[in-house]
Amino acid sequence: MDRKIVIPGDLLSEDTRRAGEGTYVRNGKVYSLLYGIASFRDRISVIPLAGKYIPAVGDNVIGVVKDITFSNWILDINSPYDGLLHISEFPKKIDVEDMSKYLRIGSSVMARVKDVDPAMKVELTLNDRRLGVIKTGRVVEISHTRVPRLIGKGGSMISMLKKELNCNIFVGQNGRIWVSGNEEDMDLALKTILLIEREAHTNGLTDRIVEYIKDARRARG
């Protein structure tokens, strides 16, 4: 079996070269750091079943403005650490006085993590075509540990969802997912996403989800 559930301190291998994410090495042996699912490939890594989102450079996230300071928006990114969006990272040139016109407290944005320093100061940016302020659609929150499953191997799950569900989907690495489409499609999309969250640790999920969507469509006629 190449996948199994492990707890912190479980011995995974005696070959330190195979130590991957979620593991640690002690006395020439590899142990698990986390309670999660260990996958044994060339490298052994442990994917946690729970835990808080810790920002990393390049992650896409969905944030909610919780405060505005001089030249910065402070965003809640569903993490122990706040995200800072500097005025210069807004796609348009705007004045400090006008900040709350474009993004007020409570606004949601799709952003990217531009930098994280050792003191966990998280800088965000909106400078990309795919990023920006959320004006339509819905946002659903799942555990960030299930995001890799939602994306699937090489994006297989997410591209299937976009096609089958007729929706535009933006996945934040922090577990927030934006869905946009017509009302009926969005209803089904949110249900499907929550189903994936619940069953993320099971095998053969993509096929089952395809079936699920087809069933739901058929039931609706």
Partner 1 sequence: MDERVFIKDGIRLDGRRFDELRPIKMEVGVLKRADGSCYMEMGDNKVIAAVYGPREVHPRHLQEVNRAIIRYRYNMASFSVEERRRPGPDRRSYELSKVSREALEPVILTSYFPKSVIDIFVEVLQADAGTRTAGINAASVALADAGIPMRSLVSSCAAGKVDGQIVLDPMKDEDNFGQADMPIAITPTGEITLLQMDGMMTRDEFRQAIELAKRGCQEIYRIQRKVLIDRYSQFEDLQDEGSRR
Q: Which residues make up the interface to partner 1 (CB under 8 A)? A: 5, 7-9, 22, 24, 26, 31, 33-36, 48-52, 54, 80-81, 118-120, 145, 199, 201-202, 208
Nearest approach, Cβ of residue 164 and partner 1 (Å): 19
For residues 86 and 215, give the distance between their C-alpha atoms in angstroms, rounded to a whole number.
Answer: 46
State the DSSP string of 11-34.
EEES-GGGB-TTEEEETTEEEE-S
Nearest approach, Cβ of residue 102 and partner 1 (Å): 26
Which one, 201 or 217, has the nearer CB to partner 1?
Answer: 201
Nearest approach, Cβ of residue 80 and partner 1 (Å): 5
Beta bridge partners of 112: 60, 125
For residues 170 and 109, give the distance between their C-alpha atoms in angstroms, rounded to a whole number.
Answer: 11
State the DSSP string of 47-114.
EESS------TT-EEEEEEEEEETTEEEEE-SSSS-EEEEGGGSSS---GGGHHHHS-TT-EEEEEEE
Which one, 113 or 126, has the nearer CB to partner 1?
Answer: 113
Which one, 22 or 63, has the nearer CB to partner 1?
Answer: 22
Which one, 104 or 198, has the nearer CB to partner 1?
Answer: 198
Which one, 105 or 120, has the nearer CB to partner 1?
Answer: 120
No. of helices (H) and no. of strands (E), the chain: 5, 15
Which one, 182 or 202, has the nearer CB to partner 1?
Answer: 202
Nearest approach, Cβ of residue 33 and partner 1 (Å): 4
Query: In Å, how far are 64, 154, 171 from 77, measured between CA atoms?
Result: 7, 25, 13
For residues 148 and 106, give the distance between their C-alpha atoms in angstroms, rounded to a whole number.
Answer: 27
Nearest approach, Cβ of residue 111 and partner 1 (Å): 20
Nearest approach, Cβ of residue 35 and partner 1 (Å): 4
- Pairing type for strands 29-32 and 23-26 reads antiparallel
